[in-house]
Amino acid sequence: MSDEQTGGKSHMADAAIRIEGLRKTYRGGRGQPEKHALKGIDLTVPRGSVFGLLGPNGAGKSTLINILAGLVVKSAGAVSIWGYDQDQNPRQSRVAIGVMPQELNLDPFFTPRGALEVQAGLYGVPKAERRSDEILELVGLSDKAEAYARTLSGGMRRRLLLAKALVHHPKILVLDEPTAGVDIELRQMLWANVRKLNEQGVTIILTTHYLEEAQEMCDEIAIINSGEKIAQDSTANLLGRMDRRTMVILPDAPVQNLPTAENVTAALRDDGNLVLQYHSNQTSAESVLESVRQAGIRIRDVRTEEADLEDVFLALTSSSADDLVADDPAQPRRGLHRVKL
Ligand SMILES: Nc1ncnc2c1ncn2[C@@H]1O[C@H](COP(=O)(O)OP(=O)(O)OP(=O)(O)O)[C@@H](O)[C@H]1O
Ligand SMILES: [Mg+2]
């Protein structure tokens, strides 16, 4: 359906989240300058996706998520959640989303079951539709249902935060660093639940500092840095943008001479394997192999390694891991020039 037919609403309806020109400036207290945590972010999260929001400490991820959750008030911009504008339809937009925050903000005097009941009440879930026991079971907290929250371990508190986010069956589930400091069992439980919920049609937005996790879990990724979005693409495309290649060669006999070729770095590893690094847009694999043959090395086996998300992330953000430097609008947008986007 075209925009004309729907009065311009069709493109709103296909996104889980649509953010335009989002800004957040925290007031500085105690002689501190104000902080521009978000500097005009545009972001669209497709429905049904597992969407990763990545960026170094202080990039603005939690600020963005807390604005979605209604916990932080934005300074400027428009946010629509499941097609509902946050300002015009605050109730519908709030009901569409469940947020597991980064901070452990639990009332110490509630039991897990009590906390879920209160949360269900806040969201107007009728008694007959409440599934507290089911959700406690899902997050592995059934045996702690009647324990005071203050007696729960850190990992159990995280489970309870996830349970609270699920109480009103939101269409969008947002997880802010769900696996920071949690044990392997909880991490596996979380990802199994995320996959299951996503299969049931829930859109997932998550932040994580474990890039392997993001690479494995997310269909699409946005990278933010110093309050600005510096990349957004499918995980596959993001990885495809990096043209750095590593070729590892298992030689037939111990290597006597390292191959030499322009724009190729060669090194011998302790295990006797030869490691060659090059850029695929500068150098062909054929010419790398040719230089190996010219050095008199016979190749028993060969494999190549492509860049992973960590490489992409570092290339995009490493030049600006300087949150301590005051914001200077005269400075060029840092990081962007480091890789071709
Ligand atoms: N309540 C606040 N008052 C003032 N400044 C704040 C406040 N909350 C966050 N900030 C600042 O805003 C910036 C963004 O913080 P935010 O918590 O959104 O980062 P983040 O990307 O979630 O980082 P992390 O990976 O460490 O969780 C930081 O410089 C932070 O110091
Ligand atoms: Mg954060």
**CATH topology classification for 243-305:** Alpha-Beta Plaits (3.30.70)
**3-class DSSP state of 313:** helix
List helix spans (H) across the chain: 10-13, 61-68, 90-95, 112-122, 132-138, 154-166, 184-199, 211-217, 235-240, 285-294, 309-317
Q: Residue 95 above 70 pLDDT? A: yes
Determine if ligand 1 sits within 6 Å of the CB of residue 60. Answer: yes
Per-residue pLDDT of 9-20, as tens digits, reads: 444 457 999 999
Mention the CATH class of domain 10-96+170-238.
alpha beta
CA of 60 to the centre of ligand 2 (A): 7
* C-alpha closest to that of 70 among 81, 82, 56, 55: 81
CA of 252 to the centre of ligand 2 (A): 50
Position in ligand 1 atom list of the atom nearest CA 102: 27
Determine if ligand 1 sits within 6 Å of the CB of residue 193. Answer: no
CA of 209 to the centre of ligand 2 (A): 10
CA of 59 to the centre of ligand 1 (A): 7
Domain boundaries, the chain: 10-96+170-238, 243-305
Per-residue pLDDT of 137-182, as tens digits, reads: 999 999 999 998 888 888 889 899 999 999 999 999 999 998 887 8
pLDDT recorded at residue 316: 80
pLDDT recorded at residue 331: 39
Determine if ligand 1 sits within 6 Å of the CB of residue 55. Answer: yes
Identify the residue with better confidence: 110 or 241.
110
Per-residue pLDDT of 282-314, as tens digits, reads: 899 999 999 999 999 999 999 988 777 777 788
CA of 38 to the centre of ligand 1 (A): 10
Cα atoms in the 13 Å half-sphere on the side-chain side of 193: 23
Position in ligand 1 atom list of the atom nearest CA 224: 21
Ligand showing the shortest atom-to-Cα distance for residue 209: 1
Nearest CA to ligand 1 atom 7: 26
Determine if ligand 1 sits within 6 Å of the CB of residue 66. Answer: no
